Amino acid sequence: CGKSFSWKKNLASHRRLHQEGRPFACAECGRGFGDKRHLTAHLRGHMGLKPYACPHCEKTFSHKPNL
């Protein structure tokens, strides 16, 4: 597909998507994911869960990288 990666493990993960597809589907909206952890994070959005809180303010997030 022409995509490049800095890390070997990211390339391997991406290759798996091409070979195996996205076997983890959201029962709510049907969106597919290649990794169960990504589905779990996606489901938090549907449920309105925001378990990650900023230690400096009151803001909360559903995905840790957004913290």
**Which superfamily does CATH assign the domain made up of 21-66 to?**
Classic Zinc Finger (3.30.160.60)
Q: Which of 24, 25, 1 is nearest to 11 (CA)?
A: 1
Q: What is the pLDDT of residue 40?
A: 93
- The whole-angstrom separation of Cα 33 and Cα 13 is 12
Q: What is the pLDDT of residue 62?
A: 85
Q: What is the distance between the terminal CA atoms of the chain, rounded to a whole angstrom? A: 31
- The pTM of this model reads 0.68
User: Encoding tokens for residue 53?
Assistant: 């809180």
21-64 pLDDT, tens digit per residue, is: 999 999 999 999 998 999 998 999 999 999 999 999 989 998 88
Strands (E), 9-66: 24-25, 32-33, 52-53, 60-61
Q: What is the pLDDT of residue 36?
A: 93
Q: What is the pLDDT of residue 7?
A: 96
Q: What is the pLDDT of residue 46?
A: 94
